[in-house]
């Protein structure tokens, strides 16, 4: 993740406790403001499944194809990690998914049967 930056301008004659670059007598300073959006984020949950924003791509996980999530508290679904670029992990549920299995579930026919 790339941190966001803030540009601060100080005109000649103004006092600033911070140091920075100078351009025609104007002082400039960059400041780090935190981090960008996490690389994987659950953006919406419905009765049919949920959406994940994975960098610039939005993926839908229907409960019919990913039944492990169907009866889980939303807070546990929201806690998602991206340990590697092609691997999603829900630590509270101990569920690992390959990103490719979400993009092309038909290529991964083995689906867990959730017991009664």
Instruction: Write the pLDDT tens digit of every residue in 30-73.
Output: 555 555 556 899 999 999 999 999 988 999 999 998 999 999 99
Strands, sheet with 40-45, edge to edge from the N-terminal-most edge strand: 40-45, 49-54, 57-62
Does any domain span residue 94?
yes
Taking the complete model, does pTM exceed 0.85, yes or no?
A: no
> Is the same domain home to 75 and 88?
yes
Range of the domain at 66: 40-107
Residue 23 lies in a domain: yes
> Is 115 part of any domain?
no
Calpha distance 111→109 (Å, rounded): 6
The confidence score (pLDDT) of residue 2 equals 47
* pLDDT single digits (tens) 66-116: 999 999 999 999 999 999 989 999 999 999 999 999 999 888 876 555 555
At 23 the pLDDT is 46
Same domain for 72 and 57? yes
Whole-angstrom Cα distance, residue 70 to residue 67?
5
């Amino acid at each position: 993740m790339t941190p966001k930056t803030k540009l601060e301008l100080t005109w000649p004659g103004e006092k600033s406790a911070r140091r920075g670059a100078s351009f025609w007598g104007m002082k400039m300073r960059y400041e780090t403001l935190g981090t960008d959006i996490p690389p994987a984020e659950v953006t919406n949950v419905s009765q049919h499944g949920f959406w994940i924003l994975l960098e610039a791509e939005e993926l839908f996980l229907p409960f019919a194809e990913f039944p492990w999530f169907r009866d889980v508290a939303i807070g546990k679904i929201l806690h998602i990690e991206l340990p590697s670029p092609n691997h999603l992990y829900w630590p509270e549920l101990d569920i690992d998914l390959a990103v490719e299995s979400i993009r092309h579930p038909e290529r991964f026919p083995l689906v867990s049967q959730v017991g009664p």
